[in-house]
């Protein structure tokens, strides 16, 4: 037996290296394989999915717009509700027209006086 080992020691070493390399390659191959999970099969059915989320937090508007009026006055009526969507040109509030009407009457009286003065001066020149 000893003579067999001495004669074939290089072959035995090569066989041992080959076996060790094969075993290492096999283990490496097993570690790279993706394990598949057990999957439960079922039948697909049509239906509604209802999912509700309840949470607390703070909300803020994405776009804020400052609005202003070209004239001042006392607001008599607000025509839109808070957080209601509005478009450009929509009437948002009604203003008290009393002071505006008084100002209009005053300006009309001044216009009438100016026209009367113009007519009088025109007659004086002729």
pLDDT digits (tens, 9 = 90+) for 71-101: 888 889 999 998 888 888 899 999 888 888 8
2: pLDDT confidence band, cut at 50, 70 and 90? low
CA dist 95 and 87 (Å) reads 19
pLDDT digits (tens, 9 = 90+) for 96-124: 888 888 989 999 999 999 999 999 999 98
Regarding beta strands 93-95 and 75-78, do their DSSP bridges make them parallel or antiparallel, or are they unpaired?
antiparallel
Identify the residue whose tokens are 């937090």.
57
Helix, strand, coil fractions of the chain, as percent rounded to 5: 45, 5, 50
Provide the residue count of the chain: 126
* pLDDT at position 5: 67
Q: Which residues does residue 75 pair with via DSSP β-bridges, in sequence order?
A: 95
Computed over every residue of the chain, the mean pLDDT equals 87
CA dist 118 and 115 (Å) reads 5
pLDDT digits (tens, 9 = 90+) for 10-38: 888 899 999 999 999 888 888 777 667 78
């Amino acid at each position: 037996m000893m003579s067999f080992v001495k004669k074939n020691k290089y072959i035995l070493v090569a066989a041992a290296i080959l076996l060790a390399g094969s075993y290492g390659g096999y283990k490496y191959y097993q570690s790279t394989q993706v394990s598949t999970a057990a999957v439960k099969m079922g039948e697909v059915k049509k239906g509604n999915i209802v999912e509700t989320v309840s949470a607390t937090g703070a909300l803020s508007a994405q776009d804020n717009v400052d609005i202003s009026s070209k004239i001042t006055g006392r607001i008599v009526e607000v025509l839109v509700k808070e957080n209601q969507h509005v478009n450009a040109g929509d009437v948002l509030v009604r203003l008290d027209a009393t002071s505006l009407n008084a100002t209009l009457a005053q300006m009309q009286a001044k216009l009438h006086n100016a026209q009367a003065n113009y007519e009088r001066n025109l007659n004086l020149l002729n």
